[in-house]
Amino acid sequence: MPPMFNYTQQTENIEFLEIAPASELPNGERLFVEIEGKSIVIFNIAGQFFAIADVCTHDDGPLGDGDLEGYNIVCPRHGAEFDVRTGKVMQMPAVVDVPAYPVKVADGMILVGFPRE
Ligand code: FES
């Protein structure tokens, strides 16, 4: 089994950290943040928020700089695609999923959940 990095359905051992006011991430935009040494990109797609690692699993490309096709982000380096909702790889040349993190909005703030041991 390939490793699983989809934390979006995980309910235990997740810590939500405040990232930014939701007003800073309008519909169609994306936000790049560095959290605990991890590069994360957060998307607002039609009012829904999604967070994945900003590093392509193929060759460490800057995934968040790619174009969105629906819910798929296309890596600008060699064209691998990932579903931003789950981190699942959808298109070669990447074969490993990227981490996907749960996102919620509370009191106008975007919170992203990170797995804890
Ligand atoms: S680094 Fe992303 S497809 Fe190669």
pLDDT at residue 107 in the model:
97
Mean pLDDT of 14-32: 97
Q: Please state the domain extents for the chain.
A: 14-115
Closest C-alpha to ligand 1, atom 3? 78
Q: Per CATH, the architecture of 14-115 is what? A: 3-layer Sandwich (2.102)
Q: Where are the alpha helices (DSSP H) in 55-105?
A: none
Question: Locate tokens 């991890």: which residue?
Answer: 38
The C-alpha atoms of residue 66 and residue 64 are separated, in whole angstroms, by 5
- Dump pLDDT digits (tens) for 26-84: 999 999 999 989 999 999 999 999 999 999 999 999 999 999 999 999 999 999 999 99
Q: How far is the CA of 12 from the centre of ligand 1 (A)?
A: 32
Our answer on whether the CB atom of 55 is closer than 6 Å to any ligand 1 atom is no
pLDDT at residue number 27? 97
pLDDT band at residue 10, thresholds of 50, 70 and 90?
confident
Q: What atom of ligand 1 comes closest to residue 94's alpha carbon? A: 3
How many angstroms is it from 76 CA to the middle of ligand 1? Answer: 7
Q: Is the peptide bond before 102 cis (omega within 30 degrees of 0)?
A: no
Residue holding tokens 């060759």?
A: 59
Handedness of CA 62, 101, 39, 22 (dihedral sign): positive
Q: How far is CA 16 from the centre of its chain?
A: 14
pLDDT tens readout for residues 84-107: 999 999 999 999 999 999 999 999
Ligand 1 mean position to 23 CA, how many Å? 31
Per-residue pLDDT at 30: 98
Atom of ligand 1 nearest to the CA of 56: 2
What's the pLDDT at 2?
Answer: 52
Rg of the chain over CA atoms, in angstroms? 13
Q: How far apart are CA 71 and CA 73, in angstroms?
A: 7
User: What is the mean predicted confidence (pLDDT) over 11-34?
Assistant: 96
Please give the pLDDT value at position 11: 85
